C-alpha cells in the first residue's frame, strides 16, 4: 500500500530549481539579446549545439560504463552490451587500479574487482579487449592518476595488433584536479598530477591525433554535493588550469584544444539540466576565444559526455530509478550531449545485473528512436523559461569563475580548501531539504513502497583476489627484469627533470613488462604522495 509520510509535504510549493535558482510562474517574453545568444546550430556561441544537424545527422554515442571482477568477466559484459546495441565502450576500473596498486598489494586487499575491473599488467588489458578491434571501437577509460599508464597499455596493445596509433579513437578521463576536492583517487601532489595530465595532452596531440586527451569532469563534482552552477564553474576553472599548463609547456592552443572534452552529470530537474548544458557551450566558447584567443572553431566547441546521476539513485524503491534515469537521459539529449551513459536501476544496491544494464541501454534507444526529440535541432530553443534559465546559469557561473580567478585560480582553490568547503555547504543544504521534506524523493521521504524481497544482486566472488595474486606471481616469474629496471630508471630520471616528457618513458616501461603498481611506485619515489588531510 502506498504511503505518504506527510500530507502537507505533497502540497509544499517549490518555486526554484534544485540548485536554488528562483522560478517565475510565467515567462512572457524572451531574454534581452536572445538572437545573439542563440545563434544557429553549429555556429558561435554554440548554445543550440556544436553541429548544424545535431542528432538529425548522427545520434550521440551510447556508452554503458562497465567493469567488475577480472578482465575476462568485463570482456563478456562488453560483448553483451555491444550485441545489445551499445556504440562505444566505457571502462570502469577498480580502486587499486585507480590508485596505482597491483592486485596483490596489501592496500588492494578487499577491493580487487569490486567497483571496476582489476588491471595490473598489459596482459590484463589484452584480455579485457579480447575479440574487440581497436581500429573499430571508441574506448573511454574513466581513469585519472594512472591514466598515462592505462593509455600506454592500450597503445602497446594497438601496436601489437597492427593498428596505427593515428587510427585510435577514444578518451581517457585524465582529470586529476577534481580528484583532490571531489573524489579522492589521487596519488601525487597537485602540481605533479597536473604535470602528468598536461604531458598526456602533449603526447596525444603529437602521436594519437584522434584521441581525446582529457575528459574534464563535472560529474564527480556534482556527485560530491555541488549544485549545477558549481558543477560548471569548478569544472571550467579546472579546464582553464589545464589549458594554461599546456600553454606553459609550449603547446599551441589550436593544436590541442580541439581534443579537449568534458564529462557532466544529469540530475532530476529536467529543464535546469538541459539549460545547464546549453549554458556550458556558450561559456566555453567565450573562454576559448576571449581568454585564449583560439582561432580554430573546433577549439571553442564544447564536446561532452553525460552520465545520469549516481547520487540520485535510491535503494528504497530502487525500481523507481529507471524513471529517474529516463528523465536525466532526456535532459542530456535535450541539452545536446555527444555521448551518454545511463545508470542501471539497481546500482544503489550493488553491481548492475545484465537485465538492468540492458534496460538502461534500451532507455537511450527508446529516447533516440521513439520519443521524437531527435527530429529537430535544439527542441527547447526559444522557450522563454529555458532561455531565461540558460542566461541565469551563465551569469552565475561566470560570477563564480571571476571569484575563483581573483583567489588565484583552480590550484589555489584546491589547496586552500575553497572548492571542498563550497561543495560541503551545498551538499548539506541538499540533504537538509530532503530531511525536511522540502525536496521530495519518491520512495524515500514520500510515497514509500513496501520493500521487495529476493532482489538479484551481482557480487564479485571472494576468491578473485587469490586468483589475481597467483596470476601476477606467474607474470613476474617469466618476464626479464633487467630491461624493465632500465626503463624504470629512465622514467625516474625524466620525472626528476621538471621539463622532461614522461609519456614516452611510461610506454617503454609497459613494453618492458612493468605493472601499474611498479610504474606508479617509480613516480611515487620522485613526486611523493598527497596527504589526505
Query: Can you spell out the DSSP letters for 362-419?
Result: HHHHHHHHHSSTTSSSSTTTT-HHHHHHHHHHHHHHHHHHHHHHHHT-HHHHHHHTHH
**Has residue 16 been placed in a domain?**
yes
**Has residue 248 been placed in a domain?**
yes
Secondary structure (3-state) at 351: strand
Which of 257, 241, 172, 188 has the alpha carbon at shortest distance from 419? Answer: 241
Q: Kindly report the CATH number assigned to the domain that includes residue 417.
A: 3.20.20.240
Confidence of residue 456 (pLDDT cuts 50, 70, 90): confident
Percent of the chain with pLDDT over 90: 93
- What residues are paired with 91 via a beta bridge? 66, 141
Looking at the whole model, is its pTM more than 0.85? yes
Average pLDDT over residues 117-127: 97
Looking only at the bridges linking them, the beta strands covering 339-341 and 61-66 are: parallel
Q: Can you give the pLDDT at residue 388?
A: 98
Looking from the CA of 485 toward its CB, the CA atoms found within 13 Å total: 3
**Has residue 346 been placed in a domain?**
yes
**Has residue 526 been placed in a domain?**
no
**Has residue 399 been placed in a domain?**
yes
Q: Can you give the pLDDT at residue 278?
A: 98
**Has residue 510 been placed in a domain?**
no
Average pLDDT over residues 155-168: 97
Range of the domain at 303: 7-436
Q: What DSSP state is assigned to residue 66?
A: E
Considering Cα of 350, then 353, then 359, then 365, what sign does the dihedral take? Answer: positive
At 369, list the grid cell: 528512436
* Integer Cα distance of 509 and 121 in angstroms: 11
Which of 283, 376, 297 has the alpha carbon at shortest distance from 333? Answer: 376
**Has residue 282 been placed in a domain?**
yes
What single string gives the DSSP state of each residue in 195-229?
A: HHHHHHHHHHHHH-TTEE-EEEESHHHHHTT--HH
Confidence of residue 533 (pLDDT cuts 50, 70, 90): low
Average pLDDT over residues 456-461: 84
472-510 pLDDT per residue, tens: 999 999 999 999 999 999 999 999 998 899 999 999 999
93-116 pLDDT per residue, tens: 999 999 999 999 999 999 999 999
Which of 423, 384, 416 has the alpha carbon at shortest distance from 400? Answer: 423
**Has residue 513 been placed in a domain?**
no
341-389 pLDDT per residue, tens: 999 999 999 999 999 999 999 999 999 999 999 999 999 999 999 999 9
The total number of structural domains that make up the chain: 1
Structural element, H or E, at residue 182:
none
Considering Cα of 204, then 205, then 211, then 214, what sign does the dihedral take? Answer: positive
The residues near 358 (Cβ < 8 Å, ≥ 6 apart) are 84
* Integer Cα distance of 137 and 168 in angstroms: 8
Confidence of residue 2 (pLDDT cuts 50, 70, 90): very low
Amino acid at each position: 500500500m502506498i504511503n505518504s509520510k506527510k500530507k502537507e509535504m505533497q502540497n509544499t510549493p517549490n518555486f526554484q530549481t534544485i540548485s536554488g535558482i528562483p522560478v517565475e510562474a510565467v515567462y512572457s517574453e524572451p531574454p534581452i539579446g536572445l538572437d545573439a545568444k542563440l545563434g544557429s546550430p553549429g555556429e558561435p556561441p554554440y548554445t543550440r549545439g556544436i553541429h548544424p544537424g545535431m542528432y538529425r545527422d548522427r545520434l550521440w554515442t551510447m556508452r554503458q560504463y562497465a567493469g567488475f571482477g577480472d578482465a575476462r568477466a568485463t570482456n563478456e559484459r562488453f560483448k553483451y552490451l555491444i550485441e545489445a546495441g551499445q556504440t562505444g565502450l566505457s571502462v570502469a576500473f577498480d580502486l587499486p587500479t585507480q590508485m596505482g596498486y597491483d592486485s596483490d598489494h596489501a592496500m588492494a586487499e578487499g577491493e580487487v574487482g569490486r567497483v571496476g575491473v582489476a588491471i595490473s599488467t598489459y596482459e590484463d588489458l589484452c584480455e579485457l579487449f579480447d575479440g574487440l578491434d581497436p581500429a573499430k571501437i571508441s574506448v573511454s577509460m574513466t581513469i585519472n592518476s594512472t591514466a598515462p599508464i592505462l593509455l600506454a597499455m592500450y597503445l602497446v596493445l594497438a601496436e601489437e595488433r597492427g593498428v596505427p596509433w593515428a587510427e585510435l579513437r577514444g578518451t581517457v578521463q585524465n582529470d586529476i584536479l577534481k580528484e583532490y576536492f571531489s573524489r579522492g583517487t589521487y596519488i601525487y601532489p597537485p602540481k605533479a598530477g597536473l604535470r602528468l595530465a598536461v604531458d598526456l595532452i602533449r603526447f596525444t596531440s603529437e602521436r594519437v591525433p584522434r584521441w581525446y586527451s582529457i575528459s574534464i569532469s563535472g560529474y564527480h563534482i556534482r556527485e560530491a554535493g555541488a549544485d549545477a552552477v558549481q558543477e560548471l564553474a569548478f569544472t571550467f576553472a579546472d579546464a582553464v588550469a589545464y589549458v594554461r599548463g599546456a600553454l606553459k609547456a609550449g603547446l599551441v592552443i589550436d593544436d590541442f584544444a580541439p581534443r579537449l572534452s568534458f564529462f557532466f552529470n544529469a540530475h532530476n530537474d529536467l529543464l535546469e539540466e538541459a539549460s545547464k548544458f546549453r549554458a556550458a557551450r556558450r561559456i566555453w566558447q567565450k573562454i576559448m576565444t576571449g581568454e585564449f584567443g583560439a582561432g580554430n572553431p573546433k577549439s571553442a566547441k564544447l564536446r561532452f559526455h553525460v552520465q545520469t546521476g549516481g547520487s540520485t539513485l535510491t535503494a528504497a524503491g530502487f525500481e523507481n530509478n529507471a524513471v529517474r534515469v529516463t528523465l536525466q537521459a532526456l535532459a542530456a539529449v535535450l541539452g545536446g550531449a555527444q555521448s551518454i551513459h545511463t545508470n542501471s536501476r539497481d546500482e544503489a544496491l550493488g553491481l548492475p545485473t545484465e537485465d538492468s544494464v540492458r534496460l538502461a541501454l534500451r532507455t537511450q534507444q527508446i529516447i533516440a528512436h521513439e520519443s521524437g526529440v531527435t527530429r529537430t535541432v535544439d527542441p527547447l530553443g526559444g522557450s522563454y523559461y529555458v532561455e531565461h534559465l540558460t542566461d541565469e546559469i551563465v551569469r552565475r557561473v561566470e560570477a563564480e569563475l571571476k571569484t575563483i580567478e581573483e583567489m588565484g585560480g583552480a590550484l589555489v582553490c584546491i589547496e586552500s580548501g575553497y572548492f571542498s568547503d563550497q561543495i560541503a555547504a551545498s551538499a548539506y543544504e541538499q540533504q537538509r531539504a530532503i530531511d525536511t521534506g522540502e525536496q521530495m524523493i519518491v520512495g524515500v521521504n514520500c510515497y514509500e513502497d513496501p520493500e521487495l524481497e529476493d532482489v538479484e544482486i551481482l557480487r564479485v566472488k571472494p576468491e578473485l583476489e587469490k586468483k589475481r595474486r597467483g596470476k601476477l606471481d606467474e607474470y613476474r616469474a617469466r618476464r626479464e627484469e633487467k630491461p624493465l629496471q632500465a626503463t624504470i630508471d629512465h622514467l625516474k630520471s625524466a620525472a626528476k627533470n621538471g621539463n622532461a616528457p614522461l609519456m614516452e618513458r611510461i610506454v617503454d616501461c609497459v613494453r618492458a613488462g612493468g605493472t601499474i603498481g611498479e610504474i606508479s611506485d617509480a613516480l611515487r619515489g620522485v613526486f611523493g604522495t598527497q596527504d589526505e588531510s
